[in-house]
Structure 1
Amino acid sequence: MRKLLFSFVFLGFVTSGYAQSTSNESISLQACQADTIVFSFDITSPYNIGNTFSVEMSDASGNFTGNFVSTSALLAYGVSVGNEIEVLIPDNSSQGLYKFRMISSNPVLVSDTISNVIIGANPQTGFSAFNWFDKAGELTFCEGDTALLVVDAPPAGQSYTQQWLSGGAPIAGETGDTLFVVASGTYGVEVSSNLCDATSMDTVVNSYLPSAAVFAQGGAGINFVGIDSIRMCKGTIATLEHFGFPAPGILGFEYQWLKDDSVNIFGQPVIYPVQDDTLSSITVDTSGTWYLEVTSLPGGCKDTSKVFTVIVDTVPATATVVQNWPWQSLPSSTLCLTDSALLTAQDTVLGSTWEYQWQIAYPSGSSSWLNLANDTMPWMVVDTSIVADTADYRLLITNEACSYITNEQTINFVNFPTILIQPGDSLGICVYDSVLVSLQSNALNFAWNGGLFTGKQNFLSVPGQYVIEAFGVNQCKTIDTIDIYNYTLVAAASANPPVISPGESTVLSATGGVSYYWFADAPSYYSNQQSSTTEALPSVDTITYFIQVEDLNGCEDTASVQVFVIEQDSAIIYSNTYGNIQNVITPNGDGRNDVLDLSGITAGDDCEFTVYTRWGTPVFNQEVYNNAWGGTTDGGSALEDGTYYFVLTHNNEIRVKSAVTILNNF
C-alpha cells in the first residue's frame, strides 16, 4: 500500500496539491488499489462550527454516486492552512479513470473536481509451493531436498515481472516466476505490473531432518568406548536405540536398522537393511557396525545415523589344574612344608589380549580373595613363601571387556610329623644287653634304618647309629637318629703268686667295676669274697678263680685266673722227668726256636695246651696241640717278651707244667 499526496481548490478554500508526479490537476494522476491518497487544502474563510470535510470518489464512468472514500471525516471550520484528509482506494476498484471531489457538511459545499486519476489494479502476489509437507502449520521440506515456489499466473491479458525476496531482501538473479528453495528462511515475491506492484506476505519455509542419533543402553558388562561404540563380553546383550524426539507436527518415525558387513564385487562395504529390524531399538550380541535409518511421519524425511560400533570380546573361559612336576607320576594338592605345587590354566593364550591374575583366599574357605603381586602368568608355583598353611587359589582372566574366574584349587600344607625318642637319642647299654626305645610321634608309620623295622617301639642291642624316619600325611617325612653304644667294662683278674705250694695262699686282685664277687671251679677259702682284693687258699692243685664285676650302669663282666699248687703226685709228670724241656722261644722267623716244640712229651697223644701269664690269666689254648705255638694269643697277636706258664694235659691229667720265656727280637 502506497501513500499519495494530492491537492485541489475548493470554494472558500485555497488549496495546493502534492502527488506522485505532479500537483497540476489537469495532468493525469495515478494510484493503485489499496493506495492511500492524502488530500491537502487550506481554509481561507471560516465555516460553521462542527463542519466536516469528506472526499467522494466517482465510479469508473466518472459519475459521483456518493462513494465517500475518506478514511474519516475531517473536522475543520476555522481559517487554516495545510489541512489533510486521507482517502483509501477500495481494493475492488476496477482499473480505469476516476474523479475525486471534497464536500463540506456545514454548509454543504462541493470543491472543484480532480479528474483523470488513473486507478490501476494491483497485481496478484500469491504463489504456490510444491514438494513440501505441513509440519505444525509450517511449510516444510526435507533437508537436502528442494522446495519449489511458483508465482500465481496473472489475469489474462496482463503480464508481471517478479523479484523473489528472502528475509525481505531481494535474492540476486531470482526474477523468474519460480524459486527453488534449498535452505530454511522467510520467502516472498514482489510482483510488478504496468501500473502497480505488490509484495506477497512473508512465507516461512523450513527444512527438516529427523534426528538419527543412536545410543546404547548402559548395563552390566557394557563399556562405552566414546559416544558411538561399546565394548562388551560374549554373552552380554546390548540394546541400541534411537535417540531423538518428534518435533512439533511430526507424528512419529519409521525405522530401519542397517549393517555394512557385506562387500560388493569391488571389495567395498555395502550398507544393507537388516531384515525385520524396523523398531526404534535393536538387541545385539555380536561384533559389528550398525546404522539406523529414520523416516519422519509425515514428510518422509530420512536421515541415517553415524556408524555405531559394537565390539564383542570372547570369554577367556578355562579351568585350573594342579600339574604334576616332571618327577611326579601324579599331581598332589597336599604338600609337605618343603614341597611346592604347580597350578596352571588348561587353556592359555599368551601374547594376546588375555591377562592373568592369580588370587588367594586365606584362610581357606574365607572367600576373601586378594591378588597375588607379580603372579600374572597362566601358571604359578605355590609354596610356603606365599603362606605356610592351607589356602584357596584361583585365576582371574580378563580379555578386554570380558573377565572370567576359574575354579578354585585348595592347596594343603601339612606339618612334618614330630618325633620324641624315649628314653633318649643317645643310649648306653651293657654288652649283650638291649634297650626298649619308644617313639612319641604323630606320624602314621615309621622306618628304622631304611625299613628293617617299622614299629613305634624297638629293642636295640647292637651298638651303632639308627636312622628313624617318621612318615605323616602325604608321606611328609621327619628324620631323627639315635646312638646306641656299649658301656666300657673290662674285668681283669690276677693272682699273686699264681703258683703256690700246698697249704699256701695267694692274693687275688680284680679291676673294672664297683662291686665284685669271687668264685672258683673248686672249693676255696676267701678272706673277702666280695672285695676287689682277697686272699684265697685253694683246695686243689689247679684251680680257676672267677671274678664277677658290676659297674655303676649295672653292667657285668667276668674274668678268670688260674692258680697252680705244686704237689708230688705219681699221676703227674713234671718237667724234670723229661729232662731237657724247651723253655725259651724266639719267634723272629729265623727258623730256630720260633715255636715251642713239645712233640717229645705229647708222643702223638691228643694233648691240650694252655698258656698263662705269670698272674694266671690264660692267653692261649689249643685242644690238640700241634707243637707250633709261636708266642701269640688266641687271636694271633704277639705276646710281649716275658715269662709265661704252660700246662699240657692228656685226658684231664697234667702231663707237664713248666715256664717258657718269649724273646721276640732275639
Structure 2
Amino acid sequence: CTDSDTTFVTLREPPVLDLGPDLTVCPTDSFRLDAGVGEPATFEWSVPLETDSTLLITEPGEYTVQVQADNCILYDTAQIDMYPAPLASDITGTAVVCPGTQDVQYLTLDTLGSDFFWSVRGGVLEPTASKSEIRVDWASDNDDAEVRVVETTPDGCISDTVRLPVRVNVELKPDTPVGVDTLCTTDSIQTYRTQTTTGSEYTWMIPPAAQLRSTQGASEVTLEWTEPGLWPLYVAEANTTQDTACAGQSDTLWVYVYEDEAAADLIAVSRETPTSERIQIQVAAQAFPDSIRLQLYRRPLGGDWALLVGLFPINAIPTDRPSFGSADIFEYKIEAVNSCNDPIITPNHPTLFLQVDTAGGAATLRWNPYTGWDPATTEYAIYRKLDQQGIFREITRLPGTTTEWEYTDTQASFGHQFFVEARGSTPQQRSLSNLDSAAFDNPIFVPTIFTPNGDGVNDTYAFGNIHLYQPNTFTVLNRQGKRVYEVENYNNEWTGGNLEEGVYYILLESPWLGTPVRTPVSIVR
C-alpha cells in the first residue's frame, strides 16, 4: 500500500532593525536609540539591565543591541559622540553701581566661534562690536538687577544661563582688592586692582607700611611695602551721575609682609687631623627652618663645581673624602633657597695645603690662603714636632696675609714635622692643613783639643750638635787604655777633671750614630 502527505513552507521577509546613523550631539541633548522592529520582540542592549526597545543616551560611546523576533536574531550598533560642553564662563563687571550710571562694561570669556545672547534686568543693554562684551546703562535704585548671558557654540550647543546679580544703589561696594597678599620684603613692589566702573573715582586707603608708586584715582594701584607685618588695604569708590552722588568702600584685603632672615654660612672646612684625608664641614645657621634644604658643592681649586650632596637638612652636614691624589686643594660651598625664593650662597672655603721646601740648610713653609674668612681677623699657627718629641707644639703665629715662612731652627732635630692651623675670629673657625716634613743631616762635630784653664773659652770638651745624639755613652781613656772618665747622656760638661795635659782617647756611642766616634783629644791647660 502507499500513502502521501504535503507540507507547505512559507518564507517571509525578516524584520528591519535600524538604530540610525552614528551621531555627535550636545551634552545637554536628550534622546533615545530606538530598536523597535514593528512586532513583538525581546531586546538586549550592551548597557547592563536595559531590555526596553529604546535606550536613553546620556554619555558618549558605542551602543549595541540584540533583537529576537519570531526566531529571527538581529544586531545593530550606533556610535554616539558628544561635542565639547560650553564653558559657561562667569561674567566680569561691577556688581554695585550708582543709579543712572551709563556705559558700564560687562564681559565673559570669548570662546572662538561662539555666539552670546545677553539680557539685562534693571537697565538698558547696549551691544558692542564684541559678542562677549556689552555695555549697560543702569536706571534707578534696584536691589534685584541682573546681567545674564547664554553661550551657543559653533556646534550648536547651548550653555546654562550665567547670571551676575547687580545692586543699583547710592551705597557702592567696590570689589575687595585683588593682588598678592603674602610676600617677602624682597618682593616689595606689588600691584592691586578692583573692578572698574565707568565714571567712578577710586581712593586707595594705604597703610603706613606702604608707599604709593602710582597715582590715586584709578582702579589699579602700585605699592611698595617697606615694613614687615600684617597690613590692611581697601579702596573707596565715588561716582556722581546727573542727579545722584554715590560712594562706598570695599572689604579689606589683609597683606602679610615678612622678612626671611634665614642665613647659612660655612664655619670651616678642615681635615679631621693633619694626617687624615677626611674633610669636616661645619655650617652656621641663623633663623634657618628645617624645611629648607642645602646643597653642598665641591671642586678642585679653580676647577668646575660639582654637586656633592643635594637637599640635606642643616643638622646633617656630611663629611667628605676627596681624591687628594688628583688635586692638592679642594674648595667647598653651600647653596640654598630661602622661603622668599632668594638664593643663599656661602663664600668658598678651601682645604689647606702645606708644602715644605728645603734648600741651603734652611726650610721654607708655604701654604694657600684660607679665603673663607676675613684676612684681617685670620691668623696661621705653625706647629712642629721633632724626632725627640711625642707631641706637636706651636712654634709661631703669623697674620692672615702671610702664606710663607722661613724656618731656620734646623739643628733642633734630624726630622722636623709641620702642619698649619688657620684660625678665624671664633673658636669654631679652625682649619688644619696636611702634614709635611723636612730632614737635616746635622752631623756631629768632634773637636781634637780643648783648653780647660778657667778662662771661659773652650773650658769643656764640646761636641757640635751633641743634643741630637741623645741618649749616648761618653768614655775617656788614657794612653794606657785605662778608663779615666765615663758618663751617660753626655752633654758637653766634661772639663778634664784633674787629668794632666796630654793626649787622651774618647769614645762616643749613640743610637743616632751609625759608627761610634773614636778620636784622640789633647788637653792643653
Question: Above 0.5 in TM-score?
Answer: no
- The structure whose Rg is larger is 1
TM-score for the superposition, normalised by structure 2: 0.32
Higher normalized contact order (CA 8 Å, seq sep 6+, divided by chain length): 2
